[in-house]
Structure 1
Amino acid sequence: MSSMDVSPAISGLRRRGWLTRIWKARPPLVIGVCLAWLTIVILAALFAEYLAPFGYAEQSLLKRLKPPSALGGPTENLFGTDDLGRDVFSRVLFAMRTSILIAVMATVIGATVGTIMGIVAAHCRGWVDDIIMMLVDFQASVPFLIVALAVLAFLGNNFLLLIALIGLFGWDGYARIARGLVLSTNGQGYAFAIRTLGVHPAKVYIRHVLPNMLGIIMVQITLNFPEIILLETSLSFLGLGVQPPGTSLGLMLGEGRNYLTTAWWMGIPAGTVIFLTTLAISLIGDWLRDMFDPNLGDNGE
C-alpha cells in the first residue's frame, strides 16, 4: 500500500489526539484477533529461552527429519526436527525474535531518516527541497531488493550492515508524509504566531509539529512494517540475510525448500508465521488509516 494512501487522515488527526482516538475506538473482531496474534508473537520472541525446549542450534543426528509429534514423531519435538536433528519449534521461536528485532530496528531507522529528511525539505525549500525530493523519487523508482542483493554481494554479509540496509527501505514514504505535514502546518496561524515570538525553529518542530505528525507516522509504520519483514525474509531466503548458525524466519524457509515433499514441517511453520504476522499488521494498519480518515466519518469510535 502506498504511503500516499494515508494523506487524507491529516485533518482527522488534528481534530483529536490520535492516542485518544485509538483508546476510544472499538476495534472489530478481526482486528482483535490480529492484536491477539501479534501479542503472542511478541511474547514468544521475548521469552524464547523459557519457551523453547531445546537450543535453536542444538543438533541430534539420530533424530534427523522426524515428523511433528502429532504425526508420530518424538513427543518432545512439537513441530518435528530438521535435516540436522534440530528442534523446529525451538528454532521458530528464536527465528521470530531475530526477524522481529531486525524489522523493528530497520523501521526505526527508516522512520527517523525519512521524517528528518521530510522536515528539512519543508523547512529549507529551494534547492535543498529539490535534492531531497529527487532522492525520494529515485528511491521509489529503484527495485530495492536488487540494490540490497548487490550491496550484500559486494560488501559481504554483516548483521549491522543488513539492518542499516533494510532500514533505508521505505524512508521515502516517511519523507513525503513529513514534508506534506510540515508544509501544511507552516501555513496555519499558530505556527506563524509561535515563530513571531522568536522561538527557535528546532523547538517549534519538536514541541508543536512532531506531536501532530506522530499519528500519521504510526499509521505509516504499520503499513511499512510488513514490507520490511518480507524484505528481511527474502534476503535470508536467498542466503544473503541472517547466516547460520543464526536463525530467522526467512533462513528457515530457505533451508526447508529442498524438503517440501519429504519433510514439509521444516519450512511450513516459519512460512505460516510470516504470513499471519504480515497479514495481521497490514489489517491493523488499514484499520488505523480508515479510523483516522475524516471521509469515513467517526466509525472508529
Structure 2
Amino acid sequence: MTSRPTPAAAGAATAQPAPLAELRGISKFYGSIRALEGVSLRVDAGQVTCVLGDNGAGKSTLIKIIAGLHRHDAGDLLIEGEPTRLASPRDALARGIATVYQDLAVVPLMPVWRNFFLGSEPTKGAGPLRRMDVGLMRATTHRELLRMGIDLRDVDQPIGTLSGGERQCVAIARAMYFGAKVLVLDEPTAALGVKQSGVVLKYVAAARDAGLGVVLITHNPHHAYLVGDRFVLLKRGVMAGSHARSEIALDDLIRDMAGGGELEQLSHELERIPPTEAPAVPAARTEG
C-alpha cells in the first residue's frame, strides 16, 4: 500500500523557484520629480521580460536601479528571493546582474579579444614577469563567440570594424562568460536596421535558452513580441500594464503602448467635418 504525500510535501514539490530578480512596488524620486512609482516585475531563469515605453517613461531609471547605479526610495528589490539594496554596479555584477548599455562602452580601436576581457584580464607569471595571458584571451574570446554562433575569422580585428549587431552580440557573450544570471539589455536594437536587429534578437534568445533571465528594455513592441515571455508597460514613471505572452496579442500590445484610448479620443477630434455640417465661412468683404 502506497502512502499519499502530505499536503506540505505536495506543496513543496510544486513550489516555484524564486525569481532570479524581482521588483515589488519600486519607486524613485529626484526631489519633487517622480521618475518611478509602484513598478513591479520579475525575472525568471530562461525567460525574457520586456519593459516597453516611450522616451520619458522611466526605462532608464529602472535600468539604473537594477544595475546598482541608483538606489530605490521605496519598494523591494529581491535577488533570488533575498531583499537587497545594491550598493554599486560592481555589487550587482557580484550578484550575477550584468547590464549591456546602448553605447556598449567598448574601445573601438582595441581588438575584439581585448574588449571581451576589458577590466577582467587574466594574467600569467609572477612578480616582475607577470603579464596578460593574451593567448588565453584570444582562444577564449573565439570559443565563446563561436558558442553564440559568431564565427570571427580574426579576434585581433578592432571591435569598431564589427557591425552594430555584432558588437551587441560580443557584449552578450561576454556577460554570459563572466557568469551573469540576469542580463539587462538597454535598447539593443534601437540604432540597428531590420537585419542587424534580427541578429541581436537571435542572441537574446540564445541567452534565454542558456538559462539566463533577460530584461529587454525597448520601445519597439514588434521586437519585444518576437522574444518576450512577459511584458511590462511604463508610462510617465508608472505601470500602464503587465501581461504574460499568453494574455496579450501583438496588436493589443501595440495599442496599449501607443496610448489606446488616448489615440481613439484624438482620432475623433481629428475627424473631418462633413461639408453639410461645417460652419459657414463668411464671405470676404470687398472695398469699392
Both structures adopt the same fold (TM-score exceeding 0.5): no
Give the TM-score, by structure 2 length: 0.24
More helix by share: 1
Give the TM-score, by structure 1 length: 0.23
Structure index of larger Rg: 2
More strand by share: 2
